[in-house]
Amino acid sequence: MRSWGDKKRARARIEIIPMIDVMMFLLVFFVLISINVIPALGLKMKLPSSNRAREDHPPARVIVTVPAEGNFQVDGRDVASLDELGADLSKRRHGSPTGIAVVINGDQAAPLQRLVDVMDTLKSNGIEALTISAKRK
């Protein structure tokens, strides 16, 4: 019997060059989006103009820490008494053109009276904007 040779089948190949081209295209696309070359936000508009317009400057933020025991802190610096706290905040309020906004960080174990004393000191020195910070449960 005569045997004819089996024809060799061409094996399937994965062409890597087109895959690299596609990956480079995706990389360039995502880089352009991330640096906002391709605008994707909102409507284009022209704001009206005014001769009396001014820049809006938010008030400077000052953090007052009320510990359970010990000295108060203003932006991480120890303050010995409420009088010194009031003087420091009053000086900062007069030194800032837009005023100050006080954030009170109180220890959970701090007595309520200490917090009320700090709030009274703030009000007596003309500081009305204050926030009490808390942690989400």
CA dihedral 108, 114, 119, 120 (to 10 degrees): 170
Residue 114 burial (10 A CB sphere; 0-12, 13-18, 19+) = middle
pLDDT of 99: 82
Query: pLDDT tens for residues 22-40?
Result: 999 999 988 877 776 655 5
> Please, what are the domains in the chain?
60-132 (3.30.420.270)
pLDDT of 38: 55
Task: Note the pTM of the prediction, 2 decimals.
Answer: 0.58
pLDDT beyond 90 at 14: no
* Per-residue confidence band for 21, with pLDDT thresholds at 50, 70 and 90: very high
Query: pLDDT tens for residues 71-130?
Result: 899 998 999 889 999 999 988 888 887 788 899 998 989 999 999 999 999 999 888 888
